[in-house]
Amino acid sequence: MIISSNISLKPYNTFGIDASAKFFTSIQSIENIKELLQSTEYKNNKHLILGGGSNMLLTQNVDAIVVKNNLKGIVIVKENEDSVFVKCAGGEVWHEFVMWCIDKNFGGLENLSLIPGCTGASPMQNIGAYGVEIKDTFYELEAIHSITGEQKTFSKSECEFGYRESVFKHQFKNQFIITSVTFQLSKKPTFHVEYGAIKQELDVMNISELSIKAISQAVINIRSSKLPNPKEIGNAGSFFKNPEVQASVYENLKINFPNIVAYPLENGNYKLAAGWLIEQSGLKGYRVGDAGVHKLQALVLVNYGGATGNEIYNLSTHVLQTVKAKFGVDLEREVNII
């Protein structure tokens, strides 16, 4: 294991922000982690565990040791007539893992195709798309405490999953290195095509018989048409969460905005479409210098080339304030600000 100093993090974050790390290293094995925890650079500095860098905004140089999770490996740990339990190392690219499951006809993750990032970060954020979240197929994860080196297995209940939330974003933030995640996938898949434009895209594709492969391709087509490729335009996907409001608030909004986009929740509240709120606030395609709101998807903030992290953060503040002024609704950033 090599620990380097003053390394640019531009290649390691999908916004393409040119901030530097005081120290930088990558881990490729459990032995690497044990070695890392004993190093002087690690013991004497703060630390930041980095996966795909797809859910972060760097607003300053990182005065810490940045640890890139490069753990690899996918194995079937057990199975029965209906399910298969697949363990995926934390450093595996998420989309590549989803494609591996689809090739094996293991159902449950197809709606989460083409989401950027690594598998180890997926439970931290409880990533979700098109009516499906990680928690729907999550079985357990293995992690190493970032100070003591203790190895721990977390069950679904211990992860405390919520909407884009988990215990790793709060109580255990920066306290564990997630080494693997195990999913319980189905040999007899249940198809989820009700959310978004999946049905319409399947019609365009002339799909007569549903399959997880067809659903995955539909999701890939939709995401590719709406979301910018981080390799071409810096971004971190959806920058804002869809806000949840009480039914009374939704009904009042509906009086003034009859076309408001919202989804009823089991608790009686409504989830509003943040992208719709931003677009109706006149901010779709809005740009200040190289920091902008994407012209096709208002949920996405982009770096057109030379924007700093602070410029993108200031733009996000402008979005929050503008939506609040128009709708009286508070948006919340989904991306981690560093």
Residue 334 is a catalytic residue: yes
With tokens 């989460």, the residue in question is 112
Catalytic residue among 26, 122, 146, 238: 238
Rounded to whole angstroms, the Cα distance separating 268 from 246 reads 7
Residue 224 is a catalytic residue: no
Residue 287 is a catalytic residue: no
304: buried, middle or exposed (CB in 10 Å: 19+, 13-18, 0-12)? middle
pLDDT tens digits for the chain (338 residues)? Answer: 899 999 999 999 999 999 999 999 999 999 999 999 999 999 999 999 998 888 899 999 999 999 999 999 999 999 999 999 999 999 999 999 999 999 999 999 999 999 989 999 999 989 998 889 999 999 999 999 999 999 999 999 999 998 888 999 888 988 999 999 999 999 998 898 887 689 889 999 989 889 999 999 999 999 888 888 888 999 998 999 999 999 999 999 999 999 999 989 989 999 999 999 999 999 999 999 999 999 999 999 999 999 999 999 999 999 999 999 999 999 999 999 99
List the one residue out of 182, 38, 192 whose CA is nearest residue 101: 182
DSSP string, 53-72: S-SEE--S-EEEEEEEE---
Q: What is the pTM of this model?
A: 0.87
Catalytic residue among 164, 166, 201, 311: 164
Q: Annotate 21-45 with three-state secondary structure.
A: EEEEEEECCHHHHHHHHCCHHHHCC
3-class SS of residue 301: strand
List the one residue out of 133, 111, 120, 126 whose CA is nearest residue 71: 120
Domains of the chain: 4-69 (3.30.43.10), 74-186 (3.30.465.10), 234-337 (3.90.78.10)
